[in-house]
């Protein structure tokens, strides 16, 4: 490697005996180079320790080399764990990640997908909307490469990456029914315009009952403003104050489940002997709680990688590809909050 100054593209070209344009084509992965020439250039790159100037390359292409990831809440472990995967996947591709928290503010979310790319200098957005409805997403900058997480279905102009919430919630509910529990509650319903995630989980809860020919106890389906510990604890207290409290609870997030367990233990009840509890998201805290929380585990690594791949494809395509509905797998992970200390398993 040359010392005293930065190795340039011209240095590589001289060593390889080719033009600077050929080196540029090899470094940028263009196909119009023979394999023999590509190998010679790569050997020169390795010998000199050449590192492309990513910023200059992006500017030449009219790009910033940055993508934005927009989520409602950074204090939600599901999003923080997902962000780690997105950052890793973007870094491999030479992209930096800008992160924004919207708190579900409709106008802030609208600004980001209407004018954010020009004001904040990012090339595309991975976006988990909370304040914006499905219709509001259509009213955005059409030139902005966009990948949606969560439950907003693609309108054909962006990609949507998620899991099958209905099937996952149905599986969680069937697990409780298979345990012989008969008074099932659900905590987390959100029957308003932007509560699609909760609505899909409620739908799965209902379908599991319908498949068994069982009625849903509507008075045991409890709404929460957010999927957090406080709301889970409060909803569980409300359920326990009833004359006929539930013997099993499907919580729409692991944080809700942790709050519910806190209330149950505080009231002197045993989990799962008195009340079985299942969560959703498979966050790290749920694995180390007492008892560890049975949960629906989405493949967060696949969601992150797929979202980055699809966004970079959109950024690099002169004509935007059609929007796709992309499903990541999920698993039911059985832990002590439903199975007791006898066993743990993954289904």
Give the H or E element holding residue 134: helix 134-138
Confidence of residue 7 (pLDDT cuts 50, 70, 90): confident
What DSSP line would sit under 158-186, residue for residue?
SEEEE--HHHHHHHHHHHHHHTT--SEEE
Peptide bond before residue 291 is cis, with ω within 30 degrees of 0: yes
Is the domain 9-52 a CATH 1.10.260.40 member? yes
**66-163+300-316 CATH fold:** Rossmann fold (3.40.50)
Give the H or E element holding residue 136: helix 134-138
What DSSP line would sit under 34-91, residue for residue?
-HHHHHHHHHHHHHHT----HHHHHHHTT--SEEEEEES-TTSHHHHHHHHHHHHHHH
Confidence of residue 5 (pLDDT cuts 50, 70, 90): low
Contacts of 187 (CB under 8 A, 6+ apart): 222, 224, 231, 232, 235, 236, 239, 249, 250, 251, 252, 256, 260
**165-298+332-346 CATH fold:** Rossmann fold (3.40.50)
Same fold, 66-163+300-316 and 165-298+332-346: yes
Domain ranges within the chain, ordered by starting residue: 9-52, 66-163+300-316, 165-298+332-346
Peptide bond before residue 278 is cis, with ω within 30 degrees of 0: no
- Give residue-wise pLDDT tens across range 306-346: 999 999 999 988 887 888 999 999 999 999 999 987 555 66
- Give residue-wise pLDDT tens across range 157-198: 889 999 999 999 999 999 999 999 999 999 999 987 778 899
- Give residue-wise pLDDT tens across range 33-76: 788 888 898 898 888 887 766 555 555 555 678 999 999 999 99
Backbone phi, then psi, for 147, in 5-degree steps? -125, 130
């Amino acid at each position: 490697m040359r010392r005293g100054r930065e190795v340039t593209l011209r240095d590589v070209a001289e060593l390889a005996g080719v033009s600077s344009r050929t080196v540029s084509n090899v470094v940028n992965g263009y196909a119009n180079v023979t394999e023999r020439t590509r190998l010679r250039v790569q050997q020169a790159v390795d010998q000199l320790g050449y590192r492309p100037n990513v910023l200059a390359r992006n500017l030449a292409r009219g790009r910033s080399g940055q993508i934005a990831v927009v989520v409602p809440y950074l204090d939600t472990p599901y999003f923080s764990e997902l962000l780690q995967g997105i950052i890793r996947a973007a870094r491999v591709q030479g992209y930096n990640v800008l992160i924004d928290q919207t708190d579900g503010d409709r106008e802030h979310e609208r600004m980001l997908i209407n004018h954010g790319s020009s004001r904040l200098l990012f090339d595309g957005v991975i976006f988990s909307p909370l304040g914006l409805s499905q219709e509001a997403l259509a009213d955005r900058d059409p030139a902005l490469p966009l990948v949606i997480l969560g439950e907003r279905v693609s309108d054909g102009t962006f990609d949507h990456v998620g899991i099958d919430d209905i099937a996952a919630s149905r599986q969680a509910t069937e697990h409780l029914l298979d345990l012989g529990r008969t008074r099932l509650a659900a905590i987390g319903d959100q029957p308003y315009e932007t509560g699609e995630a909760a609505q899909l989980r409620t739908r799965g809860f209902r379908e599991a009952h319908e498949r068994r020919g069982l009625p849903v106890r509507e008075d045991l389906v409890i709404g929460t403003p957010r999927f957090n510990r406080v709301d889970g604890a409060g909803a569980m207290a409300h359920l326990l104050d009833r004359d006929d409290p539930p013997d099993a609870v499907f919580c729409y997030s692991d944080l809700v489940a942790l709050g519910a367990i806190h209330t149950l233990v505080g009231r002197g009840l045993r989990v799962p002997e008195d009340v079985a509890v299942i969560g959703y998201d498979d966050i790290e805290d749920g694995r180390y709680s007492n008892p560890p929380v049975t949960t629906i585990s989405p493949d967060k690594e696949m969601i992150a990688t797929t979202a980055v791949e699809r966004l970079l494809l959109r950024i690099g395509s002169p004509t935007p590809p059609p929007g796709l509905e992309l499903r990541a797998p999920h698993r039911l992970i059985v832990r002590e909050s439903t199975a007791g200390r006898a066993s743990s398993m993954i289904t």
